[in-house]
Amino acid sequence: VATRETLAFDVYGTLVDPIRLEQHLEAWLPGEGRRVSQVWRQTQLEYTWRLTAMGQYQDFAWVTHRALEHALETGGHRLTAAQREAMVARYDHLACFDDVVPGLLHLGEAGYPMVVFSNGTPRMLEALLVNTNLGQFFAAVVSVDEVRAFKPSPRVYQHLARRLDRPLEEIRLITSNGFDVIGAAAAGMRVAWVNRSDGPYDRLAAPPALTVPTLMALAGALSGAQGGSNER
């Protein structure tokens, strides 16, 4: 039996949902929770891209704090330092999307080696994997913090291959984040896009051949994709 490709799972937006923090924001900022959580997430990603473009690094916990402060200021909102701390601490307890546990069970049974690959710091990822009980599914946790750059720098994908001691071409990134799909494919990885919201694809590249609505749909789609030799 040919060795199965390794599946590397993105975390925020793919396994767990940062936007759901809107519920907790809503308690302090009635009517504003969704908007603030969306600006928070978008700012967080923007800060990672900008730091990486500048050749600078602050870890994902730092970025997440600063992005929340900016999202609040942008909306003209105020939370106390303790409230902001409490919101960021919720990153350690983010809820899984409903398809994640059944999907990972299915993929694990199908024999895929599975790892986590994320912008999150090692501490954030460890806490999250313990609190969500998802740790049991993964053979390794790889953080971009190990190379002090964020996705989609090619360095982070190359680091993943080094850490797993496997060629990038034999590792498939599973992510809902379009910029991550495009970055990984540009670096030479196989990819799958999890399009949970049935939204449009990023315009920076053509959508990947492998697009699934949920992780449950991934196992079936992968068994088809493995037939093709050079499929991305």
Pick between residue 33 and residue 120 the one whose CB is nearest to ligand 2OP: 120
Phi and psi at 100, nearest 5°, equal -70, -50
- Measured from the CB of residue 134, what is the shortest distance to ligand 2OP in angstroms? 13
As a whole number of angstroms, the distance between CA 216 and CA 210 comes to 14
Q: Is 98 helix (H, G, I), strand (E, B) or coil?
A: coil
**Could you tell me which of 133, 127, 124 has the C-alpha nearest to residue 105?**
133
- Measured from the CB of residue 136, what is the shortest distance to ligand 2OP in angstroms? 19
Express the helix, strand and coil content of the chain in percent, nearest 5 each: 55, 10, 35
Query: Which H or E run contains 9?
Result: strand 6-9
| Number of CB atoms found within 10 A of residue 218's CB | 25
Pick between residue 131 and residue 226 the one whose CB is nearest to ligand 2OP: 131
Pick between residue 29 and residue 173 the one whose CB is nearest to ligand 2OP: 173
Pick between residue 8 and residue 210 the one whose CB is nearest to ligand 2OP: 8
- Measured from the CB of residue 13, what is the shortest distance to ligand 2OP in angstroms? 6
Q: Which residues bind ligand 2OP (CB under 6 A)?
A: 10-13, 118-120, 151, 177, 180
Phi and psi at 117, nearest 5°, equal -140, 110
**Could you tell me which of 200, 193, 185, 187 has the C-alpha nearest to residue 232?**
185
Q: Is 145 tagged catalytic?
A: no
**Could you tell me which of 105, 73, 68 has the C-alpha nearest to residue 88?**
68
Catalytic residue among 10, 59, 99, 145: 10
User: Which of the residues are catalytic?
Assistant: 10
